[in-house]
Amino acid sequence: MSYHGQRNWPPAWLWRGKGKNKYPQGEVGRLKKVTIAIADSDQSDGRRAYHRIFLYMEYLGARYIGCLLFDDAAACLQIGEILSKHRGRNLQTIGDLDLSHLL
């Protein structure tokens, strides 16, 4: 997956202040929550519309948030729904999912 030609998986993780920050990187932790945010394409202020998936995960007792950006709203929704179905699983297992059928 990518956004403007840059890989967007795995996301960078930002500590949410719960537990001690363990500075996780990559496909670590357990996915707790998924929030999909589709931008309004009719923005009149000239700002770029971003389609995002916010991922909430827990790693070694601490909580983190990551964000995936997408160019396409339909792709964002589709991936968001898939990720939502995998809440509670570890991120390495999720990262190993074969999504080639979506191409």
Q: Determine the pLDDT at residue 18.
A: 80
Residue partners of 54: CB distance under 8 A and separation at least 6: 34, 35, 36, 37, 65, 66, 67
State the pairing for strand pair 6-7/14-15.
Answer: unpaired
Instruction: Kindly state the percentage of the chain with pLDDT values over 70.
Output: 90
- Cα gap 80→82, rounded to integer Å: 5
Question: Tokens 């001690």 identify what position?
Answer: 20
- Does 49 have pLDDT greater than 90? no
Q: What is the pLDDT of residues 9-41, one digit of tens each?
A: 999 999 998 889 999 999 999 999 999 999 876
